[in-house]
Amino acid sequence: MIASNITKIACIGAGYVGGPTMAVIAKQCPHIKVTVVDINAQRIADWNQIDLDRLPVYEPGLPEVVAEARGRNLFFSTDVEGAIREAQMIFISVNTPTKTYGVGKGMAADLKYVELCARQIAEIATDDKIVVEKSTLPVRTAQAIRTILDAAATNGKDTQLATSRPKFAVLSNPEFLAEGTAINDLLYADRMLIGSEDNEDGKRAEQALADVYANWVPRERIVTTRIWSSELSKLTANAFLAQRISSINAISALCERTGADVDEVAHAIGMDSRIGPKFLKSSVGFGGSCFQKDILNLVYLCRHFNLPEVADYWEQVVKLNDYQKHRFAKQIIDTLFNTVSGKKIAFLGWAFKKDTNDTRESAAIYVADELLQDRAEIHVYDPKVTAEQIYGDLEYLQKHRRNDNPCTATQFSALSAVEIRSLVTVHDSPYEALKNAHATAILTEWDEFKGYDWQQIYNNMLKPAFIFDGRNILNRKEITSIGFELKSIGKG
């Protein structure tokens, strides 16, 4: 029977979502044993680090949560099979990146990891399980998961009587946390969304998961829907959030031409309660593993369902974001007298936003790539990102640049790993990165950047000393009074 009182949870995938979400469930529900498993042994070893500053995910508040629950009712392990066997409820929290091959290349979500999980669950389960989609998935994926679970339950186990075969309930429970604020987002969630199949087991499973969250989330914030609505709500939420950023970034370009100030415009329109102030911060462009991936996935789905106008509408959000990153890089080259060849450009920040060590799809990667095409010498400082990660990001891009990117596709040539390493230097100290630089580009809004000794930095930079503030974090008056030439986003 599908369990109604959950005491054992497994989560497949110990990444940015699996790790923090399960740590919070374990913290808030000491009566539930939570086991997080991953095929990446190094990642699991890092989650088991005694030194909590070296967990694989940097996230404010996470070490404290892990310290409280780990070893009590929170476990990290590579024993995927054991965890599946034991659990009543299994979260699938594996990566669903954009496909880099075959049908849907560059657009569709790659569901191979999710499919593998479903097959593994089906193969191993000997009793009834609730399977929860925590990964972000295209609408109707639950159908595919159900088909795999049911087929395996009948195929591989046909020696079993039909009545003794395990039953599965599939739920959709997308995650809405943002990196950098994950713990807060999980503890004080705006809502927890649960989509279930419309049958008795589906409703039973939905109630069981709602009861888990009810240990700390007010009941009125636990929203239940049909399963397709839940799946589509996740893609839609990310598309709406990203759309706001692209909208304000589009206006930033107009501000630069007209002398208006994008921060003032954002403030003024955000005071309209129908618009609201959040997600109106103009920037060098949104990054992160999800916005672009999820919108491209949405676009792919719309085309699949023969809705080309709808697909084009959403695709524009990504195109505008590509344009914004390109605009920023181009402004650096244009301002530095039309070439950055052999010039030292310091990058402050590499992560896609502050308070995370995640660099996936970070704007910094694309801006660096464009400057490297002109043979700039880039010197990077980021408080949380390692040199290997930075080199890895640039090398990955050389192989996987999107073909349809109008800003970058045609004129770009791939750089070798050796070329990248000869042109890019990663520093442990911001002051070293900035010494003798022709220009500084701020790519991430880390708070510490605001508190630097900018006078000292100015003294040590080449003149004219340019700053390209891709996050609008510096105080214009202070910075220009030192003598810097400051270029901000959306300020004429």
Ligand X SMILES: NC(=O)C1=CN([C@@H]2O[C@H](COP(=O)(O)OP(=O)(O)OC[C@H]3O[C@@H](n4cnc5c(N)ncnc54)[C@H](O)[C@@H]3O)[C@@H](O)[C@H]2O)C=CC1
Ligand Y SMILES: O=C(O)[C@H]1O[C@H](OP(=O)(O)OP(=O)(O)OC[C@H]2O[C@@H](n3ccc(=O)[nH]c3=O)[C@H](O)[C@@H]2O)[C@H](O)[C@@H](O)[C@@H]1O
- The residues carrying an active-site annotation are 290
- Report which secondary-structure segment, H or E, holds 434: helix 430-434
First to last CA, the chain: 65
- Residue 80 near ligand X by CB under 6 A: yes
Residue type, 105: K
> Quick one: tokens of 289?
């593993």
469 binds, among ligand X, ligand Y, none (CB under 5 to 8 A by kind): none
- Residue 179 near ligand Y by CB under 6 A: yes
96 vs 172 by CB, closer to ligand X: 96
- Residue 179 near ligand X by CB under 6 A: yes
Q: Considering only residues 223-242, where is the footprint of ligand Y by CB under 6 A?
A: 238, 241
# binding residues, ligand Y (CB under 6 A): 20
Q: Which residues are annotated as a binding site for NAD(+)?
A: 13-18, 38, 43, 94-98, 135-136, 179, 290-293, 360
Smallest separation (angstroms) from ligand Y to the CB of 142: 18
Query: Rounded to an integer, what distance in angstroms lies between the CA atom of residue 133 and that of residue 8?
Result: 17
429 and 391 Cβ atoms separated by less than 8 Å: no
Using the contact rule CB under 6 A, the part of the chain among 190-198, 273-281, 307-315, 446-454 near ligand Y is: 273-281
- Residue 178 near ligand Y by CB under 6 A: yes
Nearest to 377, CA basis, from 420, 435, 432 = 420
> Quick one: tokens of 21?
């979400």
Using the contact rule CB under 6 A, the part of the chain among 2-10, 114-122, 174-182, 220-228 near ligand Y is: 174-182
Smallest separation (angstroms) from ligand Y to the CB of 245: 5
208 and 9 Cβ atoms separated by less than 8 Å: no
Site string for ligand Y, 332-371 (x = CB under 6 A): --------------------xx------------------
94 binds, among ligand X, ligand Y, none (CB under 5 to 8 A by kind): ligand X
93 binds, among ligand Y, ligand X, none (CB under 5 to 8 A by kind): ligand X
DSSP 220: G
288: left (phi over 0), alpha (psi -120 to 50) or beta: left
310: left (phi over 0), alpha (psi -120 to 50) or beta: alpha
287 binds, among ligand X, ligand Y, none (CB under 5 to 8 A by kind): ligand Y
Question: Among 10, 11, 17, 390, which residue interacts with ligand X (rule: CB under 6 A)?
Answer: 17
**Phi, psi of 378, deg, nearest 5:** -105, 130
> Quick one: tokens of 342?
């052999």
Question: Among 113, 176, 313, 391, which residue interacts with ligand Y (rule: CB under 6 A)?
Answer: 176
Residue type, 242: A
What DSSP letter does each residue of 445-458 carry, written as one string? --GGGGGS-HHHHH
Is 411 exposed, middle or buried, given 0-12, 13-18 or 19+ CB atoms closer than 10 A? exposed
Angle subtended at Cα 175 by Cα 355 and Cα 146, rounded to the nearest 5 degrees: 145
In DSSP terms, which residues pair with 169 in a beta bridge? Answer: 130
Q: Alpha helix (H) ranges present in 125-226?
A: 141-155, 182-187, 200-213
Query: Rounded to an integer, what distance in angstroms lies between the CA atom of residue 55 and that of residue 69?
Result: 14
Smallest separation (angstroms) from ligand Y to the CB of 76: 21
Using the contact rule CB under 6 A, the part of the chain among 57-65, 118-126, 287-295, 337-345 near ligand Y is: 287-295
Smallest separation (angstroms) from ligand Y to the CB of 289: 6
- Residue 393 near ligand X by CB under 6 A: no
4 vs 396 by CB, closer to ligand Y: 396
80 vs 245 by CB, closer to ligand Y: 245
Q: Considering only residues 25-54, where is the footprint of ligand X by CB under 6 A?
A: 37-40, 43
Q: Which residues are annotated as a binding site for substrate?
A: 175-179, 234-238, 274, 281-287, 352-353, 471
Q: Which residues bind ligand Y (CB under 6 A)?
A: 136, 175-179, 238, 241, 245, 279-281, 283, 286-288, 290-291, 352-353
